[in-house]
Structure 1
Amino acid sequence: MASHRRPKSPSRARVTVLTATAAAAVALTSQAAHADPKPTKSEVKAKVDKLYDEAEKASEKYNGAKEQQDKLKKEVDAIQDKVAREQAELNSLRNELGSIATAQYRSGGIDPSVQLFFSSDPDDFLDQASALDSLTAKQAESLDKIQSKQRTLAQERKEAQDKLSELSEVREALGKSKKASQTKLAAAQHLLNTLTAAERASLAAADLRASRGSGARVELGNELPASALGGAALQAASTRIGMPYSHSVTTGPNSFDCSGLTQWAYHQAGAEITRTTYTQINQGTRISQSALKPGDLVFFNGNSHVGLYAGGGNVLHAPYPGAYVRVESMSTIGSFYGAVRI
């Protein structure tokens, strides 16, 4: 006789597991269908270039903070040396006042009228009284000097303390800028690592051709520099073609960042300019792009990058990490920001 028992229904737990498994499978399928495609070599390069630009901005801030730190350190040292000298002078004045007080005590411990009454030689007494008056006047003068010196010393100590506080803030900014630059560079390297070995080799070869295809010297051709100074700076910079780019506080002679190269070049020409793009643009005379002449400083990408105009629409500059000092068209460097003639 056939059984009429109803089939056993699946447990709730089993249904839940099956449902979850199915949902996960659907989700994975959906993710696979909508996953972002791997970026192409050109897309990676564009992102890396952007990160290099951001790293350079942070690096220029670092360079500015470093320059400010060095300046403040010298000022603090000078003030502290002055404070030490003032303190020594104050100690000397105090010793002098002590000697006067001792001499005064020995000369005039009794009321002058009483001294005159008991004195057997009035002339001798009057001589002593005159000497006592002189000591008193000298004591008053020494007290004035001490008080003045104490005020000066207090002001100098406050100035030193203010400079030390400012130095501490600059050092903090220095650390932040350095970290920001390193973070951007690490992100750029991570992106480059997503490329195949062949793609990385292709990018490196293209960059090497751009870096070393400019020749050993800059040929000015028919374009004359605006001044002998600008021409000398450009020729000095041209001797660095092929030298590697290096981030932060690199002013040569064998590696450079962008503003380090321009500062070094003008130093060789006999002129001192400041360290960063943010301060170099405020030196000399601002000029338009159409007025550019060889040796002028040209700024790009929101004033985060600088090079020397080399004529023919080209700029000699230190580009970015992994590249070398080279001459290339302004159109390939980035957006024109401004120019100055030193």
Structure 2
Amino acid sequence: MKTLTAADAAARTPRPDDIKAVPVRHPGRWVAVAVVAVLAAMFCHGLLTNPRLDWNVVGHILWDPTVLRGLRTTLELTVLSMAIGLIGGIVLAVLRLSRNPVLSGVAWLYIWVFRGTPVLVQLFVWNFLSALWPRISIGIPFGPEFYSWQYNDLVPLFTAAVLGLGLNEAAYMAEIVRAGISSVDEGQSEAAASLGLTRGRTMRRIVLPQAMRVVIPPTGNETISMLKTTSLVSAISLVDVTRAGQDIASRTFQNIPSLIAVSLWYLFFTSLLTIGQYYIERHYGRGTSRALPPTPWQRMCAMLSALRRPVASGGTS
């Protein structure tokens, strides 16, 4: 009697029918999309048809010379404050990680004070500091003075705003930079020390460039936040874009159009900063993955090309 081999048995076994996969339906998603679409349509319809909201007034306020001058002040404050915050944050982070307990303690005290008090209070302090020191002088400590200036002449309103925002930002950037430095493997510093590099050169050439991958994303968020935080300077009577909108609203009683115009400027520059942050993160993330993520333009082109492809017939007879 002939015995069946495993191959013969497998050949005689009938082939099972193909599994007909049925995609999982998600009715809840379509309901949510419908609800969001209806709410968005109602909101847009209300904005466009509300007789109390004159979009021509919004356009006039948007390009008003006072608003444009305030916008320039806002951008200058953002750039200068972030520059002070970034440089000060790097210095404070290095001091915070120093082996010298005095330097480390001073950096910790600075971060504790400036992170623990509101930035609005700090702006008021810098604005009214002349009540404590009407004159600022240079000379020998506890000795004669060589030069002196009035505080209000040395620190005008714009300078007080830059100092208040920038020094407060330095405390937050210090913790961001410290986290980035701590993320670099200690073996990098040990290898640099074995090659004879000093601690300062190791920090500049090896540690900080590698820490940028961790530092860049929160720094971009801090820059976007700083752009909006500059609106607090209106409390010390500095005319930024927010204060310019408030002044126009107080003269014309067009409060909502003024707020919309100011918000549109903030949204525009926030969008530009978001795009810039994306490309900077993409640049510093080249070594973390084999393929870089597609840019928004590449994603849009891929989506358009996918829509142009002919739809394949679904199923065979």
TM-score, normalised on structure 1? 0.23
Largest Rg, 1 or 2: 1
User: Which structure has greater helix proportion?
Assistant: 2
User: Which structure has greater strand proportion?
Assistant: 1
